[in-house]
Amino acid sequence: MKRNNVRAKLKAGEASVGSWLNLSSSSAAQLMSKVGFDWLTIEMEHSPISFETAAQNFAILSGNGMAPLLRVPSNSIENIKRALDTGAWGVIVPMVNSKPEAEAVVSAARYAPLGDRSVGGILHAATFDTTTGEYYKNANDEILVVLMAEHVDAIKEADAILSTPGIDVVFIGPNDLHNSMGLPPAFESEHPEFLNAVSHILEMAKKHGVAAGIHVPDAEAAKRRIEQGFQFVAVASDAGLMLGKAGEVAKSLGLGSGQAMAKY
Ligand code: 3PY
Ligand code: MG
């Protein structure tokens, strides 16, 4: 059975850097898997991507030695089960704002005795290049469980949320977090409430032995966040990187404002 290199890196205290796949495109998945990132997250929360497209992309990514992760549309048993049973090596769950919500994620993502994940499917074993028997034995040690902290309620409840056994990463969604503070969505700001929230998540992650993660727009920001102690860092997305470069080229030819349409 293949090992989940991302979970292994995080458990070893190392930083792991990936990006997001927002385009419903197997060609984009194929090409992005050659770039050298540690992992790629297929976006189902804010995109038209279906489970069928996601499953095809899990096979492409894992076949290219890349850990396939999925951001589910919402925290539900159905979403987490279908993501993992169709071959994702980990789930990123948005808007986890309380301990019961965190417990629900772990229950759906981990087999007994850690959780209550239902047994079934074959594509999960296929992306790990193994048999279903081996997969069931080892999945709890290989599947990456990422909870998002992207609301003021999650910051308030962080101590309780992160005390839940079975969580690997707490991942800050800075845009939603700013939004929940009544501020314009942004990757970064100097607003004290945002800065305090980021420090609090880093502190709580350390206290509970969970890796901290955050979404950033570019390589410079990724380096700064790693320096600050973040281990699971997402840099932009396929769409964001494509449009950023395209906008720059067009602008240099006097053809546009250079403003990328995608934030990430
Ligand atoms: C946010 O910034 O809200 C995100 O969800 C980033 O992934
Ligand atoms: Mg968000």
C-alpha closest to that of 240 among 252, 250, 248: 248
Mutate to test the pocket of ligand 1, among 46, 150, 179, 230 (most ligand atoms within 8 A of CB): 150
- Residue 264: predicted pLDDT: 75
Mapping DSSP to helix (H, G, I), strand (E, B) and coil, where does residue 78 land? helix
- Residue 189: predicted pLDDT: 96
- Residue 206: predicted pLDDT: 98
Distance from the alpha carbon of residue 28 to the mean position of ligand 1, in angstroms: 21
Query: Largest alpha-carbon pair distance within the chain?
Result: 61
pLDDT in single tens digits along all 264 residues of the chain: 999 999 999 999 999 999 999 999 999 999 999 999 999 999 999 999 999 999 999 999 999 999 999 999 999 999 999 999 999 999 999 999 999 999 999 999 999 999 999 999 999 999 999 999 999 999 999 999 999 999 999 999 999 999 999 999 999 999 999 999 999 999 999 999 999 999 999 999 999 999 999 999 999 999 999 999 999 999 999 999 999 999 989 999 999 887 766 667
Q: Are 142 and 84 in contact (CB under 8 A)?
A: no
Structure token pair of residue 14: 């190392």
Domains recognised in the chain with CATH numbers: 5-235 (3.20.20.60)
Amino acid at 68: P
- Residue 257: predicted pLDDT: 83
Q: Which atom of ligand 1 is nearest to the CA of 148?
A: 5
- Nearest CA owner, ligand 1 atom 1: 173
Q: Which residues are designated catalytic?
A: 46
- Nearest CA owner, ligand 1 atom 6: 173
Q: Is 157 in the pocket of ligand 1 (CB under 6 A)?
A: no
- Residues lining ion ligand 2 (Cβ < 5 A) are 150, 173, 176
- Residue 99: predicted pLDDT: 98
How far apart (Å, rounded) are the C-alpha atoms in residues 137 and 228? 36
- Residue 23: predicted pLDDT: 96
- Residue 25: predicted pLDDT: 94
Structure token pair of residue 257: 């404002």
